[in-house]
Amino acid sequence: MGMPASSFGPLPAGGFSSASDLTLVAWVVAGALLASLAVLWRRARRVEGAVRKLHRHIVELRREGETLSRMAAIVQSSDDAIIGKTLDGIITSWNPAAEGMYGYSAEEALGRPVSFLVPPERPDELMHILEKIRHGDRVDHYETVRVGKAGRRIHVSLTVSPIRDATGEITGASTIARDITERKRSEEALRESEERYRDLVEQSEDLIFSHDRDGKLLSANRALVRFLGYDREEDLLGRTLRDFLASDVVDMFDAYLETVLKDGYVQGLMKIVTMNGEERILEYRNSLRRLPTPTVRGIAHDVTERVRAEQALTQRTERLHRLRDVTLEISREIDLTRLLEGIIRGAAALLGALSGAIYLWDERAHVLSVPALYSLGEWTRGKHLRLGEEIAGTVAQRREGMIVNEYASSPYASSFFLERAAFTAVIAEPLLCHNRLVGVLTVNNEGTGQRFTEEDQDFLRLLAVEAAIAIENAQLYSVLADSKRRLGELYGLGVAMQEPLTFSARLDLILKGAQTVLGFDRMNILLADSQGTRLSAVASLGVEDPLEQISVPIGPEGGGLAKAFLERIDIVWEGFGPVPTALRLAPPSSEIRAFRSRCFVIVPLIVRGTAIGVLGADNKHSQRPIPTETVHLLKTFAAQAAIAIENARLYEEVTRYAKRLEQHLKERGPFPSDLRRPFV
């Protein structure tokens, strides 16, 4: 490379004249060289920078090529359909996934407008998407429908992004399409399932609901809304289950929440109160769903009637056990007084009542009397009822039980009890043994307002059956024991009557003993005179008339006394209605007070087949009926008394004869000595 001449100037014409000139020339040459070197160095630096820049550009191009290669590989291998198109919608790229999704090959798709994939019912959809792209906007996860080859409908999710060139200008759009047909089918199936579930829940008669972790209701089906007495679900939502619990179980709500949140499941019984205040019992099974937020889903059934039936069965079983205990107790008791007290006490306890009474039927007097009571005043014992009177009399007459739950206003109410007791309800059952009336069992509620039920009547009826049998047995035992006692006493009296007594003393012994043993108010012994025309009293007890005034003719005028003597028959009149004409005394005998009675018995006194008189007895003062057993004992006693009377009469005749004979002998003088010797 040469240097320009103008840089150093012209050389001297005559050459270098001295060393200084040479030195100067050398400096000039050196400077020129240095300047040339500087220029060369600067040029070398510029070349080096250009080389480095070119290297970097080559590296960047290589990297971009690699990126494009990777992106191309990703596009080619992607499961999503990736389509490139111009802003006019002409397809410029079509990856294999697009071929698989839509069924068109790249050759079939490239260069065609993308609108051929759009269903005819969506004509404006593509235009709106491309308009957004022109404005630089991105379309994310846009779900729509595209049409594949052979018209197959495909549900897709589109993500459309703008494509820019090196200057940033938008030159096209890139579409990533994901086939969501299966997801849509699943969602549709799920939606249909949810709708069916919702319909099932809404139409179900089960009570279905959900609540949050605090017990606040989140949902309630129609059945639950109706069950609680409301019109709309909104009336329940936001309220807690606690609001619907009965007051006696509301304290258990916190324990319920703790259990379901801890264990994830709980079941049991829940007592709730409906809008109208009715208490119902639900059986529930609730489970916890923890995601996305803790929610308890529950299903319940109304088991009120079942629970009440179970409770009623339990109570009935307990009652049956108590009934068994009571019947066992009374079946072992033979003392009538203790038996009656045990029956009425057990009946009141069996029905949970406060008081009660037993009325026993007197067959002879045709009245009901009260020998036993429970938690009632002693004034009750004096109460007597006839058939059809008040509750006990009506039950005895009908021979069927009765419940009166409004006693005060009942036509069967008694002023006697209303004045002395605060009866609010009465239940009664007849006591029947072999269809024979024994009495009436009554149980009362006082001042409680508690009503008797048909079940109460069933249990009282069962007890009444056992009680009637037990009372009959106790009465028979009592009669047997009393008969045994009185027979023993009669035997002793019979032995006493065999003692050598005067006639009057013997008669006095007979009457007093008979009254003690048989318990009559009044007794008369009448003997026939020797002519057989009159019956005259020889001994009386409990009467005011003198003996000489107590006499009746033997004939029709003598009424029942003469009839028993003549016909040798027993006559018993229990006092029911007027005395029959055949048994009445004719005047003036009818005026004798000793014979005035509406309840009497007349037994003939017979010795060796011959009637010698009659024995009459009555309960004039006490008006007590005369039991059949007592009549039998009186007949037995009368037979012994007749013999004793006849013996006493014979004894007195012999005694009188002996006295007359002795007097006659005294008047005639002493006996000869040989007549005084005893017989051999």
- The label of the residue with tokens 């060796």 reads 608
Is 446 a member of any domain? yes
Query: DSSP letters of 180-231?
Result: -HHHHHHHHHHHHHHHHHHHHHHH-SSEEEEEETT-BEEEE-HHHHHHTT-S
pLDDT at 17: 53
Q: Which of 252, 275, 302 is at the close of a domain?
A: 302
For the chain, helix, strand, coil in percent to 5 are: 50, 25, 25
Same domain for 639 and 528: yes
pLDDT at 380: 78
Same domain for 391 and 256: no
Domain containing residue 328 = 312-478
pLDDT at 502: 65
What are the residues facing 289 on neighbouring strands?
Answer: 295
Is 27 a member of any domain? no
Give me the CATH number covering residue 561.
Answer: 3.30.450.40
Same domain for 469 and 509: no
| CA distance linking residue 180 with residue 288, whole number of Å | 32
User: How many CB atoms lie under 10 A from the CB of residue 69?
Assistant: 10
pLDDT at 73: 62
pLDDT, tens only, 276-313: 999 999 999 999 988 788 999 999 999 999 999 998 88
Same domain for 468 and 322: yes
Q: Which of 272, 302, 332 is at the close of a domain?
A: 302
Same domain for 317 and 296: no
- Count of structural domains, the chain: 4
Is 21 a member of any domain? no
Q: Which amino acid appears at position 677 of this protein?
A: R
CA–CA distance from 12 to each of 5, 75, 224 (Å)?
14, 80, 128
Same domain for 387 and 339: yes
Same domain for 371 and 293: no
C-alpha torsion sign, points 33, 34, 40, 43: negative
pLDDT, tens only, 455-509: 999 999 999 999 999 999 988 887 777 767 766 766 666 666 666 666 677 677 7
pLDDT at 680: 38
Length of the chain: 680
pLDDT at 5: 44
| CA distance linking residue 7 with residue 27, whole number of Å | 13
Is 371 a member of any domain? yes
Same domain for 600 and 561: yes
Same domain for 316 and 298: no
Same domain for 171 and 293: no
| CA distance linking residue 84 with residue 71, whole number of Å | 13
Is 60 a member of any domain? no
Is 118 a member of any domain? yes
Same domain for 656 and 596: yes
Give me the CATH number covering residue 272.
Answer: 3.30.450.20
Same domain for 542 and 560: yes
What are the residues facing 139 on neighbouring strands?
Answer: 160
Is 228 a member of any domain? yes
pLDDT at 113: 92
Q: Which residues of the chain have pLDDT under 50?
A: 1-9, 11, 16, 675-680
Structure tokens at 33: 């060289």
| CA distance linking residue 275 with residue 446, whole number of Å | 34
Is 680 a member of any domain? no
